[in-house]
């Protein structure tokens, strides 16, 4: 039985950086598959956010260990990302995986924030967790809308007078 151990700060940063890189790859594929400018803009926003997070984590890594070469883990914390990106996947599958990845990233950063005693690290990790949670909310809203618009009832609603009851 393998003995568990705590991750080093460099391992944690490497996992975080890998997660952000994988998210960019996933959102880029999703952007190429979506049909509306509005949704492409949201994917661009998410891509820019993930790149910003990667940059933050790389900066922290460089400050913590300027003489240690960055070593990224071979697999994502969400292994399904590599699997989905390596095959023809539906937009629905990509959305579901992206939402799962955001939740896992949020949990990862929040868990680390609770464990650290360094106030600067805690602030960065808490910020990262909240950003991942907001990304999940964006994806969930778009996924729900996409699923709703695929139903016959939604199409009937949009074609009818039902919209007049929605307010401003």
Q: How confident is the model at residue 78 (pLDDT cuts 50, 70, 90)?
A: low
Lookup: tokens for 19: 């997660």
**Nearest residue to 121 via CA among 57, 46, 66:** 57
**Nearest residue to 51 via CA among 71, 23, 26:** 23
CATH code for the domain defined by 9-158: 1.20.1260.10
CA dihedral 104, 110, 111, 114 (to 10 degrees): 180
- What is the tens place of the pLDDT at every residue in 40-73? 999 999 999 999 999 999 998 999 899 999 988 8
Taking the domains of the chain in order of start, what are their residue ranges?
9-158
Element (H, E) at 6: none
| Predicted model pTM | 0.78
pLDDT at 162: 44
- Span 124-128, average pLDDT: 88
- Span 116-131, average pLDDT: 86
Q: What are phi and psi of 138, to 5 degrees?
A: -60, -50
């Amino acid at each position: 039985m393998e003995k568990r151990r705590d991750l080093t700060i460099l391992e944690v940063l490497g996992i975080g950086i890998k997660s952000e890189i994988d998210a960019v790859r996933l959102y880029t594929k999703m952007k190429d598959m979506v049909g509306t400018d509005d949704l492409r803009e949201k994917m661009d926003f998410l891509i820019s956010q993930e790149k910003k997070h990667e940059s933050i984590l790389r900066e922290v890594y460089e400050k913590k260990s300027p003489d240690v070469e960055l070593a990224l883990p071979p697999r994502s914390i969400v292994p399904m990302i590599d699997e989905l990106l390596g095959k023809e996947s539906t937009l629905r599958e990509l959305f579901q995986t992206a939402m799962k990845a955001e939740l896992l990233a949020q949990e990862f950063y929040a868990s680390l924030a609770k464990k650290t005693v360094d106030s600067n690290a805690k602030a960065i990790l808490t910020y990262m967790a909240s950003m991942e949670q907001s990304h999940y909310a964006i994806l969930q809203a778009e996924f729900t809308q996409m699923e709703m618009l695929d139903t016959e009832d939604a199409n009937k609603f949009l074609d009818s007078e039902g919209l007049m009851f929605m307010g401003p």
